[in-house]
Amino acid sequence: MRILGIETSADDTGIALVDAEGNFGSAFECTILANERISQSGHEAYGGIYPNLAKEEHKKNLPIAFEKVMQGNAKPDAIAVTVGPGLEPCLWTGINFAQTLAAKWKKPVVAVNHMEGHIIMSMMEIVSPSLGQCAKFEFPALALLISGGHTELILMKDPPAGGGHYEYIGRTRDDAVGEAFDKVARLLELGYPGGPEISRLAKEAREKNIVADFELPRPMLHEDNFDFSFAGLKTAVRRIVENPQAGGKPNDEIKLQIAREFEDAVADVLVAKTMRAVDECGVNTVVLGGGVSANAHIRTLLNSKLSSINCKLLVCPPEFSTDNALMIALAGYFHALKKEFADPVSLSAKGNLKLA
């Protein structure tokens, strides 16, 4: 089956085309025919995504990405489009694009949940630049989703796609972890998105053996639940940055110290809570997904803790961790296999769409 995936939930415009066959656990294979992503600029000044700017950029970028993807390729059997969660003005641009194609090609449409896309992407093994297979593992499995808008621990009782198999067991009570990275980066006068910037400085600090002479909190680390909180961490960083003794402006040394200590604090909390959930839920696989899962330190720490208890970590190559349309095409495929199609005319954007 050939699937076209469309992703416009935030500030990346993505279109991908895949040929896929098989099902979870039974000889799944996909050929990645094309995977275009156009990342937007211009949001730096706002320190976050400015929805109306993002919407206009998607409208401009979608036809450009589409033309590249379809070059030399026959039309797909179905179209998969992200309908939520995300910024509604942005989601609508992708939905309208999918509706136009569906009418023109007379092909069915699958409505995809963006977070399920992240989960399915991490379940894949990218064997070569154009070939993907499905990792071998058993259910139940635990998903840790960390992105710009989400921080969630989800128990998956059965393979994704097919409905009703997700159970939220923990979530952030305030900022998402990616949001915390972005806000701290802004306090440190770094670029947007902040995650890769902080991560780069933290790596440099580790290489130079620079250790902070202060300690940041590990919010909710010892609380007996699977919830998270990251707003206090950002406030703690602000206090250090705005300390008049430091001149009210972070110098390069302080930036390195903060980046490393912040990344350590975030990783400590994410990993500790995930390990507790693994133990309590009795799973032997963790699926790590979402843009923040591109973070090398979080991956390494989680992987070493999980391997010490013989638990498997599934995570995709970092370039597929952040938003892309390949993950939407793949999620769309598994729904299309089950003939779970949407009526293209009644599709609508759902900013707060949940998995369960």
Residues contributing to the site for ligand KG4 (CB under 6 A): 10, 147-149, 178, 181-182, 193-196, 199, 290-292, 294-295, 322-323
Binding at 250: pick from Zn ion, ligand KG4, none (beta carbon under 5-8 Å per type)? none
Q: How far is CA 106 from the centre of its chain?
A: 31
Of 179 and 323, CB closest to Zn ion: 323
> What is the CA angle 342-345-347, rounded to 5?
55
SS3 call for 317: coil
**Residue 125 Cβ vs ligand KG4, minimum distance, rounded to whole Å:** 20
- Nearest CB to ligand KG4, comparing residues 2 and 257: 257
Q: Yes or no: say if 305 and 275 are a contact pair by the CB < 8 Å rule.
A: yes
**What is the nearest approach in angstroms of ligand KG4 to the Cβ of residue 74?**
30
Which has the closest alpha carbon to 354: 108, 187, 227, 167?
167
The DSSP element (H or E) to which 202 belongs, if any, is: helix 194-207
Binding site for Zn ion (CB under 5 A): 147, 323
Say how many C-beta atoms besides its own lie within 10 A of residue 5's C-beta: 32
Identity of the residue, 119 or 155, whose beta carbon is nearer to Zn ion in the bound complex? 119
Report in angstroms how near the CB of residue 136 gets to Zn ion at its nearest: 25
Q: How far is the CB of 261 from ligand KG4 (least distance, A)?
A: 15
- Read off the DSSP letter of residue 342: B
Which partner, Zn ion, ligand KG4, none, binds residue 117 by CB below 5 to 8 Å per kind?
none
Residue facing Zn ion at closest CB distance:
147
State the Cα–Cα distance between residues 151 and 173, nearest whole angstrom: 9
Residue 283 interacting entry, from Zn ion, ligand KG4, none, C-beta within 5 to 8 Å by type: none
Choose from ligand KG4, Zn ion, none: what does 199 bind? Cβ within 5-8 Å by kind. ligand KG4
Work out the end-to-end distance of the chain between its first and last CA atoms, rounded to an integer number of angstroms: 27
- Three-state SS at 149: coil
344 binds, among ligand KG4, Zn ion, none (CB under 5 to 8 A by kind): none
**For residue 251, with 0-12 CB atoms within 10 Å meaning exposed, 13-18 middle and 19 or more buried, which class applies?**
exposed
Least distance to Zn ion, CB of residue 121, Å:
10
